[in-house]
A and B are shown apart, each in its own frame.
Chain A
Amino acid sequence: MATTTTRPAASSTSVENSLAAAKLPTYALWIVFGVSFAVVGAVLLLIAIASEAEFNYAGWLIIGGLLYALSTWLFSSLVEGRRRGMDRFITALVIGAFVIAMIPLISVTWTVVSLGAARFDIEFFSYSMRNVTGEGGGALHAIVGTLEMTGMAALISIPIGLMTSIYLVEYGRGAVARGITFLVDVMTGIPSIVAGLFAYSLFSIFLGPGTRTGFAGSIALAVLMIPVVVRSSEEMLRLVPNELREASYALGVPKWLTIVKVVLPTSIAGITTGIMLSIARVIGETAPLLIAAGFTASMNYNLFEGRMSSLPVFVYTQYANQGNPPEAYLDRAWAGALTLIIIVMALNLVARLVARTFAPKTGR
């Protein structure tokens, strides 16, 4: 039996190939871009002139961006087809999301630098707030407090954190290691204010209610810092290739010496970076120090005696307890914020540099 297959008749209507269809030239999008921002800018400028208000830059950016996204979508849908139109629309939205995220960053930086510069002077770094009302005074007591408390917190948490990560990577097996990993996870999620409450209740139970010392602040910071140190060091230790350990064992080197002489030197750059980033994270903490260490206007070099100010708490108290004239207090708050940001950014920058400079040379 002969089967006859009927061939599909050549379709008379040609299927439109959407990808080979008309394509907008690149400059067309730039024209749309320019026109949308120019139109929105002109409208906002008219509004600003009419109401004698300042030109609204954020509004210009946001409305202009939205207009651009919508008009490329319309334009491209008409010329290039629905699918390409959607693609261009999403591209505009995705770029817009990044630009929107840059607005607070630029705004914060600009505000802190411009307002903080007013009191960013020598007096600010050489005086405390003792007997200062109104203008003058400085944040030396807060800077000293921040350095001492953060230093103490680092002294507590670096050994514990580093040894825990060594335990997890080199020794830990089975349920115990899983349990500790779980607990570190839980610790990562402790809200900073809860860490402050913990340190406060610890000291008020043993040393009487209302005890606030710099050391309590260090304990609160250490609770926040340990899980970060564990996490980053663990990650770095796991990056050390197993071949290095095995080569060392094969030469008869004991395990602890392998860790000290082979594993740690290989990963030291990454560990240092992680530790510096964790310090940068806790040095800006306000709430736990406000609760555990309190605040004071005087110098206090003793971690174990009396309340201790820190830079973030100084910023907060200067803002919250404004006296007369309020500008003096606000200027000090902004100068403190500027100092804090410079410290944190410097730590971040140095940490990245360390990671880049001292990274182990891979053989290939």
Chain B
Amino acid sequence: MTTTTQAPPIRGKQRAGDRVFSGSAVFAGAMILVTLGAVAIFLIVQSVPALFATSENASILTTNFWDYVWPLLFGTVWAAALALIIATPLSIGIALFISHYAPRRLASVLGYIVDLLAAVPSVVFGLWGIGVLAPAVQPLYSWLVDNMGWFPLFAGPVSGTGRTILTAAVVLAVMVLPIMTAINREVFLQTPVLHEEAALALGATRWEMIRTAVLPFGAPGMLSAGVLGLGRALGETMAVAMVLSATGAVTFQLLTSVNPSTIAANIALSFPEAYGININVLIATGLILFIVTFGVNALARWVVSRRKEFSGAN
């Protein structure tokens, strides 16, 4: 019997250039870690004084910090949820139009046109929301309050300017539409062609083919598109700050002039004039926004990673 001694593994020669290059690549990766750590640490350090602040040392508070942040958190989630309710069916429809209905030659151009919406800066959407959208929808709001005021969400009195939370949600929906459409479109295009052809061969109409082959396949992707859109809508600042005329109340009514503000909009509006511990209070609300969006994005990632397991192979 012969025993073979384990040969030492062959190591490539380390050149100086290699070391510099891999070193700087590692350094850049580490910079990401440092930046993110810095974001968390600086926000936490600046937030700590605010958590114990009361109306005595921070003029922006009426009682304590948590009473201040709760209506803002409610407004943030409510506005984002409304935006999502509007944007989800629209984005699925647009994505289906581009992937399965439009002529194939036009599809990429149409996708690009939808992407153009993402290129419009949020401050421009804010100006547009005040100058065009709010006056345009105000008559509709009056009509809704007059004729459907029995429905709790549409209870009056109607806002005279149209700058309500529903208008802000519509602007938010327009702003998250491109990213949601892009993801949905990608998912719908990944549907195995054999599934689609099998459905068509069994005599399905186009809608039946989509219902039985495309939508079930794309369901997890549509879910993650929705969650990503929610993350975007939660953090959107300027459009809400400009469009919404907020009073800080906690209410579900959509059409009145009494509206909850959102965390991001409140920071943008209050920060330029803030001083002393008020600044810490605003930074602490920002930290809470960061935590909420982080949670939402983690959820989206979890959904995507779960999807990987059962897509592709089948």
Contacts and interface: CB of A to CB of B under 8 A. Distances in A.
Given A171-B26, A192-B237, A284-B122, A164 B205 contact: no
B234 A180 contact: no
Most buried by A among B22, B29, B120, B126: B29
Given A98-B93, A167-B25, A201-B45, A255 B18 contact: yes
A183 B36 contact: yes
A101 interface: yes
Interface in A252-295: 254-257, 259-260, 280, 283-287, 290-291, 294-295
A137 interface: no
B89 interface: yes
Interface in B63-113: 89-90, 92-94, 96-98, 101-102, 110, 112-113
Interface stretch (B249-257, B266-274, B306-314): B266-274
Interface stretch (A30-38, A105-113, A118-126, A240-248): A105-113
Nearest to B275: A210
Contacts of A194: 39, 43, 235, 286-287, 289-290, 293
A299 interface: no
A315 B241 CA distance: 13
Contacts of A226: 32, 35
Interface string A332-354: 01100100110011001000100
A92 B154 CA distance: 29
Contact of A187 (B29, B32, B96, B282): B32
B283 interface: yes
A166 B272 CA distance: 40
A338 to B, nearest CB: 9
Nearest to B125: A108
A97 to B, nearest CB: 3
A189 B293 contact: yes
Contacts of A167: 22, 25-26, 28-29
Interface string B107-129: 00010111011011111111110
B21 A256 contact: yes
- What is the interface of chain B mostly: helix, strand, loop, or mixed? helix
Interface residues of A, number: 94
B208 A186 contact: no
A191 interface: yes
A353 B300 CA distance: 32
B235 A180 contact: no
A75 interface: no
B57 interface: no
Contacts of B120: 105, 108, 284, 341, 344
Nearest to B174: A104
B264 interface: yes
Contacts of B123: 284, 286, 312, 315-316, 337, 340
Given A164-B32, A284-B122, A171 B22 contact: yes
A163 B264 contact: no
B32 A91 contact: no
Given A191-B237, A192-B237, A286-B121, A197 B286 contact: yes
A212 to B, nearest CB: 10
Nearest to A91: B101
Nearest to A348: B119
Contacts of A23: none
A259 B128 contact: no
B242 interface: yes
Contacts of A283: 121
B97 A183 contact: no
A86 interface: yes
B72 to A, nearest CB: 12
Most buried by B among A95, A108, A159, A348: A108
12 contacts: A87-B205, A107-B132, A108-B124, A161-B28, A164-B25, A166-B28, A168-B29, A183-B33, A205-B42, A254-B17, A286-B238, A287-B237
Interface of A: 19, 58, 83-84, 86-87, 90-91, 93-98, 100-102, 104-105, 107-108, 111-112, 115, 159-164, 166-168, 170-172, 176, 179-180, 182-195, 197-198, 200-202, 204-205, 209, 223, 226, 230, 254-257, 259-260, 280, 283-287, 290-291, 294-295, 312, 315-316, 319-320, 333-334, 337, 340-341, 344-345, 348, 352
